[in-house]
Amino acid sequence: MSTQNPHNICTWNEESGCVACGLQGKLNCRLNPRDFTFFVLNQVPSLVMALFGLILIGLLAETWWPLIVYAAGCIALWGLGIETRILCSHCPYWAEDGKTLRCSALTGSPKWWRYRPEPMNKLEKTILLLFFSFVVLFPVLIEAYGIWVMAIDYAGFGLYALLGMIGVTVATLMAGLQFLYILRYYFCSKCVNFSCPLNRVAKPMVDEYLAKNAVMKEAWERSGYKLGQ
């Protein structure tokens, strides 16, 4: 057990310990900078389209509260560390010693919270799903509202503005779906934060990883989880 890895999580042990492991390649259990780059690039289109659409609504309808609400939600989730508290503090990547997180998605986030080896509870899962739904759906709903406002004042806005708003709304929706699709099928299917409500790793692999990590295994069993059932 090293000072860098006080909970003796295999993800942070020497890679030589992985040689005989059956989970090699099946889980994103080793730090891989390419995964981080891919994760960041994957969320750029949806965030750019969301901001573009909300700024457009602000300019056309002269109403800025949607952009302010969206920015406040994103700042709370990422800037104030709500996501890292309810989600990441349960993740094996969080267990490394140090002041900043290193992982495939939020590398660089400050580690304000202690490591929690037990699974996320129901309240944490509910808050996380509400925030994720807000980040993806709120801009689309506001833009759809913009279409409706333009449609009922068609004479004032004109055909091109209406078609433009429809295009921006469809593009924002598609970018959000693209983000979710890649997240679910590339990241969530291999993620070692097994109690996240989006996680898709099969139970036998979860059990195998827990069996290698006594601190997690004990915490999961204390919370009622049964290995091998």
Q: Is 210 in the site for ligand SF4 (CB under 6 A)?
A: no
Interhelix angle 214-222/203-212, rounded to 10 degrees, is 120
Q: Is 93 in the site for ligand SF4 (CB under 6 A)?
A: yes
> Which residues, other chains included, contact 127 with Cβ-Cβ below 8 Å and sequence gap of 6+?
82, 86
Q: Is 220 in the site for ligand SF4 (CB under 6 A)?
A: no
Among 131, 157, 179, 209, binds ligand SF4 (CB under 6 A): 209
Applying CB under 6 A, what is the total number of residues that bind ligand SF4?
23
Q: How far is the CB of 198 from ligand SF4 (least distance, A)?
A: 10
Site string for ligand SF4, 152-191 (x = CB under 6 A): ----------------------------------------
Stretch of residues binding ligand SF4 (CB under 6 A), selected from 41-49, 100-108, 149-157, 168-176: 100-108
Please count the other Cβ atoms lying within 10 Å of the Cβ belonging to residue 173. Answer: 19
Cβ distance to ligand SF4 smaller for residue 145 or 186 = 186
Among 4, 24, 37, 121, binds ligand SF4 (CB under 6 A): 24
Angle at the Cα of 95 from the Cα atoms of 93 and 99, rounded to 5 degrees: 95
Q: How far is the CB of 20 from ligand SF4 (least distance, A)?
A: 9
Cβ distance to ligand SF4 smaller for residue 36 or 145 = 36
List b or e across 68-105, with b for residues whose CB sees 16 or more CB atoms inside 10 angstroms: eebeebbeebeeebbbbbbbbbbbbbbbbeeeebbbbb
Q: How far is the CB of 4 from ligand SF4 (least distance, A)?
A: 15
Among 67, 86, 95, 105, binds ligand SF4 (CB under 6 A): 105
Among 5, 8, 23, 186, binds ligand SF4 (CB under 6 A): 23
Q: Is 106 in the site for ligand SF4 (CB under 6 A)?
A: yes
Cβ distance to ligand SF4 smaller for residue 143 or 207 = 207
Q: Given the rule CB under 6 A, which residues bind ligand SF4?
A: 10-11, 17-18, 21, 23-24, 27, 29-30, 87-88, 91, 93-94, 101, 103-106, 193, 209, 212
